Amino acid sequence: MPAVPLQSLWSVTAPAGRACTALTTAWRAQAAVIGAGYTGLSAALHLAQAGREVAVLEAADIGAGASGSNGGQVIPGVKDDPDTLEQIFGPDVGARAVATVAAGPDLVFELIARHGLRCDAVRSGWIQLAASEAARAQLAGRVEQWRRRGAAVELLSRAEVVRLTGSDRYCGGLLDRRGGTVQPLSYVRGLAAALGRCGGRIFTGTPALKLTRTAGAWSIETPRGSLSAPLVIIATNAYSGAVRDDLRRTVVAVPSFQVATAPVPASLRAAILPGGQAASDTRRLLRYFRLDASGRLVMGSRGTFAAVPSVRAVRHHYHAVHEIYPQLDGLAFEYHWGGLVAMTRDHLPHLHELAPGLLAGLGYNGRGVAMATVMGGLLARRALGTPAAELGFPVTPLRPVPFHALSGIGARATIQYLRLADALARARGNP
């Protein structure tokens, strides 16, 4: 089947990024970071702010992974509800982990304000939309759990959802006022610029090829140079490769694809997301959508997309937009792009200490704008000597996904299954 040309809305609308070059010498730093996405740049920025000489190696360009291509939805928390986190980790560690993940949007918007990052940041909340009555009941429980912890989260009736989103496809929802939106590529480029102002170096077009331990330091081999540092942070998430194959095998990389329309006409704008919130639904193959700064509807979902998705995959997205917003039928789709989401078996992000002076953070399950930024801060604090027990997030051993080599097939089969389950639920009257 023929493919559509890929072009990301974000790459067209982001201000130019910091100009960087490849590493061509033997470089030394106090801390080295592999990967220039939110995790790596947040870690590097926190380290640089603490006075450390830090150098970042990026295989391609700043934000070339998920950080430059995502939906820009700043979502508090992780997939698991707060009570579940406390059950998993126990009341003490669990409660601190809840506080850590809940504060993700605070950190994102604080960094944006402190460093003056120009990334169309809007903090007007995140809406989670119930695709069925059962999902609405689940959202009610989630709201109750967050409210018990003092968070500004409220349950929405069907009518309130229609008023806030302009779609009548959903049974209800929740509004989490802690969330918001950013232009994702502008945000990651902004972090890189802030790092530069704090003295941090970034080498682009510089893949880390091999990592070895020498006397008192790690040495990272790259195609035309090398970097040595006593501390190394691996921040390659779904794009992790052979540098640490055991780490790569802890996540399954699932493609996620997005489309953006032409700007929504003024006559319809007043009804579609008039408050500027981001929205995601509770379907098994979730759909997420928002408006950008020029009023384009941006919608994404996960699926079995090739690097260049088929026309069928693209039409699937057009269909989803029209199902949620029939009033947009006829409006042109102008941008198509995608990226890889790192999924973990337990749906939790992971912070690992692979060896003394070697840390890694990854596995945000599609919620990395806030959580990867938080993870960068946690990695930096651990690198600076905060004891693991005082971080506020558990440091866990590596748990590679069994039969990882088959995970591509597994991910595809899972997605087909979830698509079928969503279709059956719709046929039963539960959209």
Ligand X SMILES: Cc1cc2nc3c(=O)[nH]c(=O)nc-3n(C[C@H](O)[C@H](O)[C@H](O)COP(=O)(O)OP(=O)(O)OC[C@H]3O[C@@H](n4cnc5c(N)ncnc54)[C@H](O)[C@@H]3O)c2cc1C
Count residues near ligand X (CB under 6 A).
46
Q: Which of 76, 77, 338, 357 binds ligand X (CB under 6 A)?
A: 338
230-267 CB burial, b ≥16 within 10 A, e <16: ebbbbbbbbbbeebbeebbbbbbbbbbbbbbbebbeee
Nearer of residues 148 and 213 to ligand X, judged by Cβ? 213
Among the candidate windows 153-161, 211-219, 359-367, 377-385, which touches ligand X by CB under 6 A?
359-367
Rounded Cα distance between 296 and 310, Å, is 23
- When asked if residue 236 is in the footprint of ligand X (CB under 6 A), the reply is yes
33 makes contact with ligand X (CB under 6 A): no
- Of the pair 36, 164, the CB lying nearest ligand X is at 36
- Return the H-helix or E-strand segment holding 421: helix 407-427
One of 32, 103, 153, 208 touching ligand X (CB under 6 A): 208
Query: Distance between CA atoms of 352 and 237, rounded to whole angstroms?
Result: 12
SS3 337: strand
Work out whether 35 is an interface residue with ligand X (CB under 6 A): yes
Query: Residue type for 95, please?
Result: A
How many other CB atoms are there within 10 angstroms of residue 216's CB atom?
A: 8
Query: Residue from 196, 225, 241, 410 that binds ligand X (CB under 6 A)?
Result: 241
Region of 80-88, 318-326, 333-341, 398-406 interacting with ligand X (CB under 6 A): 333-341
Give dist(CA 427, CA 425) in Å, integer.
5
Longest dimension (CA), the chain: 67
CB 291 within 8 A of CB 264: yes
Instruction: Please report the DSSP string for 144-204 in residue order.
Output: HHHHHTT--EEEE-HHHHHHHHS--S-SEEEEETT-EE--HHHHHHHHHHHHHHTT-EEE-
Provide the 3-class DSSP secondary structure of residue 359: strand
Q: If phi over 0 gives left and psi between -120 and 50 gives alpha, with beta otherwise, what is residue 104?
A: alpha
Task: Please identify, among the stretches 51-59, 123-131, 261-269, 327-335, the one whose residues bind ligand X according to the rule CB under 6 A.
Answer: 51-59
Binding mask 57-96 for ligand X (x = CB under 6 A): xxxx---xxxx-xxxxx-x---------------------
Closer CB to ligand X, residue 156 or residue 247? Answer: 247
For residues 50 and 5, is the Cβ–Cβ distance under 8 A? no
* Of the candidate residues 260, 369, 379, 411, the single one contacting ligand X (CB under 6 A): 369
* 39 is an interface residue for ligand X by CB under 6 A: yes
Q: Which stretch binds ligand X (CB under 6 A): 9-17, 238-246, 387-395, 406-414?
A: 238-246
Question: Does 256 help bind ligand X (rule: CB under 6 A)?
Answer: yes
Cα end-to-end distance, the chain, whole Å: 29
Among 112, 121, 195, 340, binds ligand X (CB under 6 A): 340
Helix axes 184-197, 38-49, angle to 10 degrees: 30
- For residue 73, the minimal CB distance to ligand X (Å) is 3
| Residue closer to ligand X (CB basis): 19 or 51 | 19
**Smallest distance from ligand X to CB 414, Å:** 17
Q: Given the complex with ligand X, which of 325 and 364 has the nearer CB atom? A: 364
Residue 243 touching ligand X (CB under 6 A): yes
Which of 82, 368, 377, 431 touches ligand X (CB under 6 A)? 368
Taking the CA atoms of residue 411, residue 86, residue 66 and residue 205 in that order, the dihedral angle to the nearest 10 degrees is -110
Which chain residues interact with ligand X by CB under 6 A?
A: 34-40, 57-60, 64-67, 69-73, 75, 207-208, 235-239, 241, 243, 256, 258, 288, 300, 338-341, 362, 364, 366-370, 372
